[in-house]
């Protein structure tokens, strides 16, 4: 079984996925996989060729902040980058699933609905929170209010994600409350209960 966890930035996807891991699921973090892919020499070369040498840091690696500055201000640039990275990401998913197809997986996918990835998953869980709390969490991570709003605006509205998800976890409370929701939900996450 493969479960997709999605939600807007700062909603608590990673926290929820971590709790799923505690409950026995194997976890794939798409953002972490993308960070690894950004170190692949052919990817580095392609990104530098597309965006210029100013996207390298002092060590010669790609500077994700510099890249984000470009792609969140230019939809064409963002689409180019996604077209470069996403096939590599999906190949890593396939490899992981094939290597251990008897296990239950949870995959964090920020753009699950935006990229029409629903068919990859048996169930989709959307983690949601109020916009004020979401922005406060992102500011704690060092993302300015304006930049957070800009990035969130590139995603589907939360209401659309809630409507399209199989299950919703509300994350305006404590970490324990989020975990309790997953514990209550887990018995429903069986292949035979799929609508």
Query: DSSP of 6-25, one letter per residue?
Result: E-STTSSHHHHHHHHHHTT-
The yes-or-no verdict on residue 155 having pLDDT over 70 is yes
Residue 108 dihedral angles phi and psi, to the nearest 5°: -80, 125
pLDDT above 90: residue 193: no
pLDDT band per the 50, 70, 90 thresholds, residue 3:
very high
Q: What pLDDT is recorded for position 151?
A: 79
| Mean predicted confidence (pLDDT) in 35-43 | 95
Q: Point out the least confidently predicted range of 32-36, 40-44, 130-134.
A: 130-134
Q: Which CATH architecture has domain 1-25+105-195?
A: 3-Layer(aba) Sandwich (3.40)
Tell me the mean pLDDT in the region 12-34.
93
Q: Indicate yes or no: pTM above 0.85.
A: yes
Q: What is the mean pLDDT of residues 70-99?
A: 94
Highest mean pLDDT among 28-32, 128-132, 146-150: 28-32
Question: How many other CB atoms sit within 10 Å of the CB of residue 105?
Answer: 20
CB 124 within 8 A of CB 3: yes
Q: What is the mean pLDDT of residues 40-45?
A: 95
Q: Alpha helix locations (H) across 100-130?
A: none
Whether residue 86 contacts residue 115, with contact meaning beta carbons closer than 8 Å, is answered with yes
Average model confidence (pLDDT) across the chain:
90
**Tens digits of per-residue pLDDT, 86-145?**
999 999 999 999 998 888 999 999 999 999 999 999 999 999 998 888 888 888 888 888
Please state, in angstroms and rounded to a whole number, the distance separating the CA atoms of residues 190 and 183: 14
Candidates 4, 2, 10; CA nearest to 125 is 4
Q: Rounded to an integer, what distance in angstroms lies between the CA atom of residue 164 and that of residue 168?
A: 10
Pure H helices in the chain: 13-22, 30-37, 41-51, 64-71, 75-99, 131-140, 145-153, 158-164, 175-185
Higher per-residue pLDDT: 189 or 94: 94
Per the structure block, which two tokens stand in for 51? Answer: 């965006």
Q: What is the reported pLDDT for 191?
A: 61
């Amino acid at each position: 079984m493969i479960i997709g966890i999605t939600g807007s930035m700062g909603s608590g996807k990673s926290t929820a996925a971590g709790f799923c891991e505690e409950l026995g699921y194997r976890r794939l973090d798409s953002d972490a996989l993308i960070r690894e892919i950004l170190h692949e020499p052919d990817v580095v070369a392609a990104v530098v060729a597309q965006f210029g040498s100013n996207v390298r840091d002092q060590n010669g690696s790609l500077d994700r902040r510099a890249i984000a500055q470009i792609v969140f201000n230019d939809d064409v640039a963002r689409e180019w980058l996604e077209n470069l990275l996403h096939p590599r990401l999906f190949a890593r998913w396939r490899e992981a699933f094939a290597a251990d197809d008897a296990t239950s997986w949870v995959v964090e996918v920020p753009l699950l609905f935006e990229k029409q990835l629903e068919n990859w998953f048996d169930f989709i869980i959307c983690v949601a929170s109020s916009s004020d709390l979401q922005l406060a969490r992102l500011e704690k991570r060092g993302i300015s209010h304006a930049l957070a709003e800009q990035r969130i605006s590139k995603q589907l509205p939360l209401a659309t994600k809630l409507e399209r998800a199989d299950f919703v976890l509300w994350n305006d409370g404590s970490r324990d409350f989020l975990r309790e929701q997953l514990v209550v939900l887990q018995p429903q996450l069986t292949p035979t209960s799929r609508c």
